Amino acid sequence: MVVVAGQGRHICTFDSQATYPQFLFATGDDYVAPQTMAGISKADVFAIFIK
């Protein structure tokens, strides 16, 4: 999981988003390819619950 808060100096595929912040996560248990966004999806929301 990664939170992309804004476009960085090193422009990667996952850095170039239409809006920020973006919450990206791996869709499986294998490796992902950030260059092509293979195996990566965007979350609609991100929540932290503390009990």
Low-confidence ranges of the chain (pLDDT < 70): 10
Measured distance CA(47)–CA(23) in Å, rounded? 11
pLDDT of residue 41: 92
- Strand, helix or coil at 23? strand
User: Residue 4 sits in which domain range?
Assistant: 1-51
The total of structural domains in the chain comes to 1
pLDDT of residue 10: 65
- pLDDT tens for residues 8-22? 776 777 788 888 888
pLDDT of residue 27: 92
